[in-house]
Each structure stands twice: as C-alpha cells, then as structure tokens.
Structure 1
Amino acid sequence: MQRDELLALLTPEAMTLLDDAPAVASSADALALVTRLRAAGGSPATVAAVVTQAKLRRRALAKFGPFVERMLFTDAGLQQATRLQVAAHHADRFRQAGAVSVADLGCGIGADSMAFASLGLEVTAYDLDEVTAAIAAHNLAPFPNARVEHGRAEEVDLADFDALWFDPARRTTNGGSTARHFDPSDWSPALDFVFGAGRERPTGIKLGPGIDHAYLPEDAETQWVSSGGDLVEATVWMHDAARAGIRRSALVIGKQGAAELTSSEDVHDAEVGELGTVLYEPDPAIIRARLIGDLARSLKATMISETIAWMTADAFAPSPFASAFSVREVLPLHASSLKSELRKRDIGVLEIKKRGVDIDPAEFRRKLALKGASSAVLILTRIGDRRVAILADRLS
C-alpha cells in the first residue's frame, strides 16, 4: 500500500463506506461494490481503497475471525501476519516468563501486538515502514496498553523493555518489486543482532519454518508450529522465555486443541522396517523439528525408507502428531495400470498424496480419468528403491 492509498482510506467517508460494505468473495462481488459506491458519489480513490480493504478482510477471516470487522490490512502485511491462535500462544509464553512490557520489533499490521495487549502486557510496537506502522496503529487503537512507533529496531533502546519480540523482514520492496533475502545478515534487523539482543532478556523470534538448522543458536529453544495442518513458523525462544531442558519442540494446533512434542536435542530416526497395515504421515512441524524418531518409537512404528518421513506399523494408535492410513494394497506406480485397477474397484473419489517421488498429483489425477462411486487414498512414494502406489483409507 502506498501513502496516498492510506490517506484515501483514513477518512470518515471511506471508513463509513467500509463498515457498510458487504463481503467481497469474487470479482463479481467487487464489481458490484464498485458500481454501488461510485453511483453513491464515492471518489475513485475512496472507492478503490474501500474495495481493496473489503477483499482483504474476506481473506483475513481465516487468520483473525470476527476481529477483521474493525481491522485494516495491507496485502503483504496480511500474508506475513501471525494467525490469531498462534499469536495467543506467543503472548502466553511471555506471560509465563513473567514479562510486563514487550517491544514488538517489526510489528507488521500488529497481529502479535494485539495478542500481547489482550493478555495485559504493556506493548510498544515498531515498524520501519510508515504505512504499515499506521495500519498497526489503527488495529491496536482499542488497546490503551499498546502504542505504535515508526522506527528501526536497531535504533530502539531495548533497555526500556523486559521482553522482546522480533519478526525480521526477509523481503524488501523497491519500485513495486519485491526481493527475498536468503542471507540472514541481509534481514532487517540482521539475525546476529536479534540473537545478541535475545541473550539479555526474554525474547521470541519468529522465523520462516524452513530456516536452516545451522543458523539456530545452541543456547535457545526452537519451536516449529503448525496450525490446521499448515506449517506456519519456527520460533526461537531465548533467555527466560526458553524452557529449561528443551532445545527442539513441535507445537501442533488443531481442531481439538494444541499438542506438543519436545526434546533436549535432535533425535535420531527410527529404523527402516517392512510395510505394515498402517501408514503414518507426520505433521510437518514434527518433520522440521527433526522429532520423527521419537514419534515413531511412541507409535511402535518404523520408517518406510531412510529418506522419507513416513512411518509404518501393524496396529493403529491415534496421535495428534500424525495422520494415519489403513493400507489396502500396494500397486505399481504406473498411471495406465493404476487407471485400470481403480476402475475395477469402482473408485472415483481419490485423495492423492506423494512423498519422495517427482510427480505432479494434479497431472497424475488427469491420467487416471477417475470413474466410480467409491473413495480411497492413493499414496505415491518409495519403499526402499521401489516406486509404489499404496491404496489406502484414511483413519485420521
């Protein structure tokens, strides 16, 4: 969002129109809203700002639920914002660490700061981008214990706070184009600066879940988080925000609540075994935290391959950390023969999963030309050196 777009949005007229705007779920909805607002005398700039926000609010429902009704967004800010239930977890970690005041350094649109303020923490949020800081100020306006400043994290006097929250920017925008930085020294603030600050007071650092383990400090806890089956972040907790004796953890947040698996160190994988009657697909947080071995042993399972993070066993044991499938049979991984086999079994509804094979599931599905009334799961993978298609049924 550019500054002139923000100014067009932050007017009484635009905010009133936005409050009355219906949900925009399609191009037809957007066109209808533009037509209605223009007919009512709205200026092009105002109408454009209102319609953009209506679209973003619709997209934001999955992350923020009913809170979207009074929030403002930027496209980039919404993409990078922490989901509300994950932000609540961040806030609770600071509360458990005894924090009273927290600096949110790189606050974006203010999602984490909203959670911090909701739990009673005194929050000062900073963002280097002036427009983003203004959006965050709007979103945090209902909280008297939160304020927003436009500023650079490296220039903030961190001694004024007893806890720190960092979300280093890994992208820069210049002239409408966005560049992603893979070297942590190019992030804003740089990762070395962030880790240095984290050794002095309780600190949480939100990183991408694909962060190279080599970058992670040995004197910290790193927690991989999945929400609704999506791997959303790796959070480094330092100083008193880290828990004693825990170096790696995986937090899985689902419909039934949250579950966590922890370890004091990287865990070695389980042994490879013969394919049993049950297959397990570990949650991605378990995989990235390298806790597959502990999960396998808890399920009395073995690996299907040394390089594939699926497990197998002869008895089903439900787990919040893995999806489970009952094996029907193993078939050759050839589209033509599978097409015939699936038709023999009257299978027309098929969930296709793959692991360890270079196959596009959508293209593979077209080759199968599915027809039939029954349903199944088809797992395209390798067992040892063999490429196979495992016909299965979902257990969890």
Structure 2
Amino acid sequence: METSELLDVLSADGLRLLDSLDPYDSKADVVRTVSELRAAGHSPGMVAAVLNQSKLRAKAGPKFGAFAERMLFTEAGLEQATRLSVAALHAGRFRDAGLASVADLGCGIGADALALAALDLLVTAVERDEVTAAIAAYNLAPWDNVTVVHADAVDVPLDDVDAVFLDPARRTAGHQNTSRLRDPADFSPSLEFAFGLGERMPTGIKLGPGVDRDLIPAGAEAQWISVDREVVELGVWFGAAARRGIGRAALVIGDHGTAELTGPADSEDVETGAIGQFVYEPDGAVIRARLIGDLARQIGARMLSTGIAYLTADKLVTTPFARAFTVIEVLPFDERTLRRELAARGIGTLEIKKRGVDVDPAQLRKKLALKGRASGTLIVTRVAGRHCALLVERA
C-alpha cells in the first residue's frame, strides 16, 4: 500500500465509503462495482484503495474474527500478523507474570499490541515503517492504554516498561511481494539484538517455526505453536515471561481447544518396534519441539524407524498431539506392486504422506495410474530402516 492510497482510505470519506460497501464477494462483478463507485463521484485512487481494503478485511477474518471488520491492513502486514487467538496467549503470559507494561517492538499492523491492550496492559507499540505504523495507530485507536511510536525498535528507550515483545521482520521491506530473509542477522531487529534484550528483561520473541534450533539460547523457553495442524510460529521466552522448568513446548490449537506438551529439553526417542495396528503422525509442533519420545511414552507407542517421526502402537489412543491411522496393509515400496494392490481395491483418489523417503507424491501418484471410485491414504516411509508403503485409513 502506497502512502497516497493510505491517505485515501484514512480520510473521512474513505472510511465512510469503506464501511458502506457490501461484504467482499470474490465472485462479484468488480468492473461493475468500480463503475458504480466512479459514477457516484469517487476518484479512481479512492475506489482502488477501499476495494483493496474490503478484500483484505475478508481475508483477515480467520485471523481476527469480528475485529477484522473495523481494521485496516497491508498485504504483507496481514500475512505476517499473529492470529488473534495466539496473540491472546502471548498477552496472557505477560499478565500472568505480573508485568504491567510492555513494549511491542516491530508491532506491524498491531495484532499483538491489540491483545496486550485488551488485557489492560500499558502498551508502547513501535513500528519503523511509516505506512504500517499509521495503520497500527488506526487499528489500536479504540484503546487509550496504547501509544504507537513511529521509530526503529533499536532506538526506543525501554527504561519505563516492564517487558518487551518482538516480532522481528523476516521479509524484505515493502507492503507486498516481499521475500523471506534467510540470514537471522538480516532480521529487523536482528536476533542478536532480540536475544540481548532477553538477557536484560522479561522478553518474548516471535520467530518462524523453521528457524535454526541451534540459535535458541540455553535457558530460554522455546514454544512451537500449531493451529489446525499448521505450525505457525516459534515463541522464545526469557525471564519472568518464561515458565520455570520448561525448555521445550508444543502448543496445539484446534477444534479440541488447546493442548500442550512440555518438557525441560528435547525428549529422548523411544525404541523402534514392529508395525502395530495403528500408526500415529505427530503434530508438526511436537516434531519441531522434538518431544516425539514424550508423546510416544504418553500413548504407549514405539518408533517405526530411528529418526523418522512416525509412531506405531497396538491400541488406539485419542490424542490432540497426533493423527491416528489404522493400518490396512503393509506393502513393499515398489511401483508395480502398489499399482496392482491399489487397482484391486478400486482406489482412484490417493493421499500420499511421506517421511524419510526421497519421493515426489505428485509424480508417484501419476505413475500409479489410479482408477476407481474409492479413496485411500498411503504412507511412504522407512520401517526398521527399509523403505515401505503403508496403506492406511484415518482412525
């Protein structure tokens, strides 16, 4: 979003027009809508700006719920923003630790600052990008316990706050078509700066879930969070914002609510064993946190193969930390055999899961020449070190 477009939206006429639009419909005739708004006397820039915001508000619904209906966004800001349900958990940490004031450094469009303010904490929301800071100011205007500051995070004095939350920018500058930064030294602010704050005061740092685990400082709490089986972030916590005795955590959010698996450090894997009646696929947060061994002991399971994140057991145990499958057939990983067995069962739609095997599911599916009305799931992995294909169904 350019500054001129933002000014159009933030004007009284722009906000009035935006709020007057019908809910965004991807199937609507956009050309007709533009023509009608232009005919009503609105400028081309104004029309483009409000229609883009209407689209972004609809896209933001899953992250922000009803709040999205009154917020403003940029493409990049929305993509990088914390889901409100997760931001509420961040805020709860600070409140429960008795920390009354928090500086949100790199606040983006204001998702975490919004959650902090909703818990009556005093918030200083800092954003160095001018357009994004203006949007954050608009989104946070309903809360008088928030101050939005347009500044670089590294330049903001922190003597008057109890704690800090950072979401370092992990993309190139801009509001759309940005690319991911691979080197943590290029994050804004850098990880060195962020971790340095953690040594001085209660601090929470939001990172991408795939960040190099070797970078996580000793003594910090690392919590991976998944929402509807998608791992969305890694939170690294220091001081009073961290929980005593917890070094690794996997928080799983879904239809079941929230569930968490924790440990003082990476857990030791259990032994491998024969394939049982059931195979378990651990949630990605459990895998990232390396708590597979603790999960296996919790449900009475064993590893399919050393270093492979699939578990197996003879009894079905319902757990929010893994998806369970009933084993129908154990087959050799041989295309001719698989083609014959799947054809015999009339399987024309096949979900292919893989782990520990170099195979392209799309190419394999094509080679299997599937035909039929039945559907199935194939797990291609290693069992006791050997390549194997498991025909399974969801338990």
Query: Normalization by structure 2: what TM-score?
Result: 0.94
Using the TM superposition, give the Cα deviation of residue 272 of structure 1 relative to its aligned residue in structure 2, in angstroms: 1.6
Task: Specify the alignment match of 1:147 in structure 2.
Answer: 147
Output the amino acid matched with 1:378.
L
Residue 337 of structure 2 is aligned to residue 324 of structure 1 = no
Task: Specify the alignment match of 2:116 in structure 1.
Answer: 116
* CA distance in 2 between partners of 1:76 and 1:22 (Å): 24
Task: Specify the alignment match of 1:290 in structure 2.
Answer: 290
* CA distance in 2 between partners of 1:90 and 1:48 (Å): 35
* CA distance in 2 between partners of 1:111 and 1:38 (Å): 33
Using the TM superposition, give the Cα deviation of residue 190 of structure 1 relative to its aligned residue in structure 2, in angstroms: 1.6
* CA distance in 2 between partners of 1:232 and 1:330 (Å): 33
Using the TM superposition, give the Cα deviation of residue 331 of structure 1 relative to its aligned residue in structure 2, in angstroms: 2.2
Q: Which runs of 4+ in 1 moved over 6 A?
A: 174-177
Task: Specify the alignment match of 1:126 in structure 2.
Answer: 126
Task: Specify the alignment match of 1:209 in structure 2.
Answer: 209
Task: Specify the alignment match of 1:72 in structure 2.
Answer: 72
* CA distance in 2 between partners of 1:370 and 1:202 (Å): 56
* CA distance in 2 between partners of 1:252 and 1:80 (Å): 20
Task: Specify the alignment match of 1:386 in structure 2.
Answer: 386
* CA distance in 2 between partners of 1:87 and 1:327 (Å): 39
Output the amino acid matched with 1:11.
S
Q: Is the 8 A contact 1:24 1:30 kept in 2?
A: no
Output the amino acid matched with 1:139.
N
SS at match of 2:16: helix
Task: Specify the alignment match of 1:226 in structure 2.
Answer: 226
Change (3 A) 1:206 1:80: same
* CA distance in 1 between partners of 2:336 and 2:390 (Å): 15
Using the TM superposition, give the Cα deviation of residue 243 of structure 1 relative to its aligned residue in structure 2, in angstroms: 0.9
* CA distance in 1 between partners of 2:357 and 2:70 (Å): 46
Using the TM superposition, give the Cα deviation of residue 348 of structure 1 relative to its aligned residue in structure 2, in angstroms: 3.5
* CA distance in 1 between partners of 2:30 and 2:99 (Å): 44
Equivalent residue pairs, number: 395
* CA distance in 2 between partners of 1:30 and 1:82 (Å): 30
Query: Normalization by structure 1: what TM-score?
Result: 0.94
* CA distance in 2 between partners of 1:91 and 1:298 (Å): 30
Q: Is the 8 A contact 1:21 1:33 kept in 2?
A: no
Change (3 A) 1:316 1:177: closer
More moved, 176-185 vs 350-359: 176-185
Using the TM superposition, give the Cα deviation of residue 25 of structure 1 relative to its aligned residue in structure 2, in angstroms: 4.4
Using the TM superposition, give the Cα deviation of residue 96 of structure 1 relative to its aligned residue in structure 2, in angstroms: 0.8
- Superposed, which structure 2 residues align to 1:29-178 within 5 Å? 29-173=29-173, 178=178
Change (3 A) 1:174 1:84: closer
Using the TM superposition, give the Cα deviation of residue 27 of structure 1 relative to its aligned residue in structure 2, in angstroms: 6.5
SS at match of 2:310: strand
* CA distance in 2 between partners of 1:378 and 1:272 (Å): 21
Task: Specify the alignment match of 2:26 in structure 1.
Answer: 26
* CA distance in 2 between partners of 1:208 and 1:88 (Å): 18
Task: Specify the alignment match of 2:5 in structure 1.
Answer: 5
Residue 310 of structure 2 is aligned to residue 343 of structure 1 = no
Output the amino acid matched with 2:256.
Q
Residue 284 of structure 2 is aligned to residue 265 of structure 1 = no
SS at match of 2:234: strand
Change (3 A) 1:315 1:77: same
Gaps of at least 5 residues in structure 2 are: none
Change (3 A) 1:59 1:364: farther
Using the TM superposition, give the Cα deviation of residue 267 of structure 1 relative to its aligned residue in structure 2, in angstroms: 1.4
* CA distance in 1 between partners of 2:174 and 2:254 (Å): 38
Q: Is the 8 A contact 2:306 2:385 kept in 1?
A: no
Using the TM superposition, give the Cα deviation of residue 29 of structure 1 relative to its aligned residue in structure 2, in angstroms: 4.6
* CA distance in 2 between partners of 1:270 and 1:47 (Å): 60
* CA distance in 2 between partners of 1:95 and 1:297 (Å): 33
Using the TM superposition, give the Cα deviation of residue 374 of structure 1 relative to its aligned residue in structure 2, in angstroms: 3.2
* CA distance in 2 between partners of 1:257 and 1:35 (Å): 45
